[in-house]
């Protein structure tokens, strides 16, 4: 069961995603962070298997955070979770900075299925 770190500047979004994932026996939420800097500290401390990362955050955005996370948590899979996936410029940019998957915000059920597919495809 992969451990998940949820990173989003909205405490409401973090709470909803955490509640949803805790109901699914496929995941174990190990922590949450409200900013890129906090995510880096938490990733070093918690060593999550999977990092669910928002794109649009004040300070460090999701792309900058993903690049930093790859150095402190190189084995963690990083999933960009955002309502703004069209503004990314494509999967090539995401892949080049270490993002394993892009999931649009919307359906939590679809998000969970995408996470399960990712972790099954690339064992932790």
Instruction: Note the pLDDT tens digit of each residue in 45-71.
Output: 999 999 999 988 889 988 899 999 999
Is a pLDDT exceeding 90 seen at residue 36? yes
**Could you report the per-residue pLDDT of 76-111, keeping only the tens digit for each?**
999 988 776 555 555 555 666 778 888 877 777 777
Collapsed DSSP state (helix, strand, coil) of residue 93 = helix
CA pair distance 103, 86, nearest whole angstrom:
11
Quote the pTM value: 0.86
Query: In this predicted structure, what is the pLDDT of residue 123?
Result: 55
Q: What is the mean pLDDT of residues 13-21?
A: 91
CA pair distance 4, 23, nearest whole angstrom:
13
For each of the domains in the chain, give its residue range(s) and CATH number, in order of start: 3-121 (3.40.50.2300)
């Amino acid at each position: 069961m992969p451990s998940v770190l949820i990173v989003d500047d909205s405490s409401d979004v973090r709470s909803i995603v955490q509640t949803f994932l805790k109901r699914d026996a496929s995941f174990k939420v190990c922590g949450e962070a409200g900013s890129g800097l906090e995510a880096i500290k938490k990733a070093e401390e918690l060593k999550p298997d999977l990092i669910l990362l928002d794109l649009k955050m004040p300070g460090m955005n999701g792309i900058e955070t993903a690049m930093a996370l790859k150095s402190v948590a190189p084995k963690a899979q990083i999933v960009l979770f955002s309502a703004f996936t069209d503004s990314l410029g494509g999967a090539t940019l995401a892949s080049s900075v270490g993002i394993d998957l892009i999931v649009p915000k919307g359906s939590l059920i679809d998000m969970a299925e995408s996470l399960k597919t990712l972790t099954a495809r690339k064992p932790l």
